Amino acid sequence: MEINRHCTAQSHSDCALLSSLHLQSSDSEQEARHPFPAHMAECGCEYSCQTAVQTLDWIQAIVRFIEPYIFLMEAHVVNFFKDRLWEAVDKEWMDCLREESVQNLLLIPSGVVQGHWPASLKKFVHTLRCLSFPRDQADLQTMFPGLHADSLSSVLIQGMSMKKKHEVEVLSAIVSFIAKRVGAHTIIDVGAGQGYLAQVLSFQYQHSVVAIDASSHHGRVTDARAERIKKHYAAQMRRSGSANMSLNIPKTITCEVSSIDMLKGLSMIPIHKDANEKLVRHEIDGRKPDSVSDASNDALLVLAGLHSCGDLSVTMLRTFIELDDVKAVVSIGCCYNLLSEVGSEDDSCQRGFPVSSGIKSAGISLGKCSRDLACQSAERWRSLKEDSGLHNFELHAFRAAFQMVLLSHYPEVMVTSPSIGRQGKAMRRQQQRRILESSLNQESSCRVGSDFDSNGSCNNRSTICERAPSGTNYSNFEEFSLSGLQRLGLQPLQDMDLHWIWKEHEPFMEFIGPYWSLRAAIGGVLETLILLDRLLFLQEQGIPLKAFMLPIFDPSLSPRNVAIVAMKI
């Protein structure tokens, strides 16, 4: 994983803050420097992605830094005990972190270090933080002057979680603002799910909207929900004496968007309503739509995607570039683990990573383990309570020890790389119930004995081993193992000694938390690399456009909060 270009770590760090009047500023104004996030100032790092050269420089810095830690990125944690993975990490680091409190381990992905740590470890964590794209929610009024995010009505938020309400409220305002700015007539919600974003854009902001999703169930739910909302608004209009006004109702299309041609074809289907303004829903069985020839050529479009999964976010960017009528795109990606990658299977297809020529020419690839790691959220780690964090570490230990059970007693199963599913969720729920029942007194005494410093770090010495009685751990491991065997369709063997296997590996359980925390800390940098690759792709096109990355959500509510925004000018 090497890049031949020399990296210059200069200029401005937060490419999200391109200009307070970015949508209307001149090229010279865009070159102006802007305040960068405090955490980057503190560690003396500055990176920018205002231009393709700057973006590639940032990418180079990331690649050069993470290259020595590929072993950590590509590790299969299920093989933690089998391959003695902790031994590959700097011994001084592990000796230090094995004594660290669970709460302080959970802060490592957020870039929080402790004063007594080795200098090399502190430098590692600080550098990861500097190379990661900042996640604090941007000042949206500065980026989009005149933006007004309306509070959603009670009928529109029915069924939404607090997280979804926040996301839809913010994103709908931004998409509506951009659609008006570029003069677009229609918004296409790609990967629409149950249609929350599409319905707010239609009913509240009065845009023509097409909601595309692969699930026919989602399509039916979207239609049924839109009918209820329509009745509510129609009744309001009758009461206010504006019954003659028409409502914009989203059109739903059920189709798996498997290619740019598919999305281009869907983007060109004309918008229409029947005589009774009933919802029109198309179901397309994976083929390219036949209605391209009937397209309304003067319909300008905006593509929007709220956590469009895997390659879908990249397909949106490619469609934006290739289809003249698509004037803007607002894409928030997710599920990087599902990205297709160059070098896997059929290379004749366009892959989700890398997408930019700059990274392709450098021969950079990630692999599934690294893409999985890019999904880790520092905000989620930071928000975990000590007991929940401890339980997560325990589950990793149980799974790694269960791997030793399979290796010892079911070697034929190991050939198939067995997956036992997410049974940890069930155990987590059981554990949480136990915590609720028994931890009030324990929590109280823990708080009395804890001391938090100015960084929010916990200075108590409640380490993993101190919090986890051996007998309880074995009982939980036995439960985990028997459940795992059942999921694999295997019967417990008479000569299988789970207690011996656990006893042999439990002493190394104290390394699980430190190892997994260090590994998770790389996640933010890997996600930054994936996002910069997408931005660089847009910057390489040589056509007049504005493109930038912007953290639009509150990361405590929605950790996957970075939008890639692009507009043709």
pLDDT digits (tens, 9 = 90+) for 88-122: 999 999 999 999 999 999 999 999 999 999 999 99
The residue ranking higher by pLDDT, 242 or 455, is 242
CA-angle at 155, arms to 153 and 161, nearest 5°: 85
**Residue 374 within a domain:** yes
pLDDT of residue 396 exceeding 80, the answer is yes
The phi and psi torsions of 305 (rounded to 5 degrees) equal -145, 120
The pTM for the full model equals: 0.82
pLDDT at 43: 46
pLDDT at 428: 53
**Residue 559 within a domain:** yes
Range of the domain at 531: 140-270+298-380+522-568
pLDDT at 452: 38
**Residue 422 within a domain:** no
**Residue 355 within a domain:** yes
Calpha distance 142→311 (Å, rounded): 31
Q: How many domains does the chain have?
A: 1
Residue 66, phi-psi category: left (phi > 0), alpha (psi -120 to 50), beta (remainder): alpha
**Residue 397 within a domain:** no
pLDDT at 45: 56
The helix or strand, by DSSP H or E, that contains position 308, with its residue range, turns out to be strand 301-309
41-45, 73-77, 109-113, 155-159: range with lowest mean pLDDT: 41-45
**Residue 375 within a domain:** yes
DSSP structure string for 48-110: --SSHHHHHHHHHHHHHHHGGGHHHHS--GGGTTTTTGGGGS-HHHHHHHTTS-HHHHHTGGG
Mean of the per-residue pLDDT values of the chain: 81
Alpha helices (runs of H) in 439-497, residue ranges in sequence order: 440-449, 464-467, 470-487
pLDDT digits (tens, 9 = 90+) for 139-149: 999 999 999 88
pLDDT digits (tens, 9 = 90+) for 37-61: 444 444 445 799 999 999 999 999 9
**Residue 216 within a domain:** yes
pLDDT digits (tens, 9 = 90+) for 248-299: 888 888 888 766 677 767 766 655 544 333 444 444 444 444 443 344 434 7
- Cβ(79)–Cβ(85) under 8 Å? yes
Percent over 70 (pLDDT), the chain: 75
pLDDT of residue 550 exceeding 50, the answer is yes
Percent over 90 (pLDDT), the chain: 59
The residue ranking higher by pLDDT, 84 or 453, is 84
**Residue 553 within a domain:** yes
pLDDT digits (tens, 9 = 90+) for 4-35: 333 333 333 334 333 333 333 333 333 333 33
CATH code for position 252: 3.40.50.150
pLDDT digits (tens, 9 = 90+) for 429-444: 455 444 444 444 444 4
* CB count in 10 Å sphere of residue 155: 15
489-to-389, 410, 421 alpha-carbon distances in Å: 30, 12, 13
pLDDT at 262: 73
* CB count in 10 Å sphere of residue 301: 25
pLDDT at 471: 64
